[in-house]
């Protein structure tokens, strides 16, 4: 991760809730620091769902497109590695 987080062609998406992403809500695992990887973008997992199913592909694409990522390499994180 350290080799990639500053690379302009890499986009890091964090799937945790906004509260956990910005460090206002405690992490559920004891001893885990709050906050996020520098330069990462928050896209909460629940925002990708329509009920218990993933949204349609065109809707998901719109959500990712809002970030206007410069590169084509993606890393996804949920706080647990």
Q: Exactly one of 26, 78, 80, 81 is catalytic; which is it?
A: 78
CB 5 within 8 A of CB 37: yes
Does 77 participate in catalysis according to the annotation?
A: no
* Measured distance CA(58)–CA(64) in Å, rounded: 10
* Sign of the dihedral defined by the CA atoms of residues 64, 69, 41, 37, in that order: positive
* Sign of the dihedral defined by the CA atoms of residues 21, 13, 17, 1, in that order: negative
For the annotated catalytic residues, the residue numbers are: 78
């Amino acid at each position: 991760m350290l080799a990639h987080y500053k690379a302009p062609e890499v986009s890091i998406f964090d799937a945790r809730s906004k509260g956990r992403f910005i460090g206002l809500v405690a992490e559920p695992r004891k001893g885990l620091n709050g906050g996020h990887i520098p330069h990462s973008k928050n896209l909460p997992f629940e925002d990708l769902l329509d009920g218990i199913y993933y949204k349609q592909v065109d809707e998901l694409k719109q959500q990712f497109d809002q970030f206007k990522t410069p590169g084509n390499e993606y890393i996804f994180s949920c706080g647990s590695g």
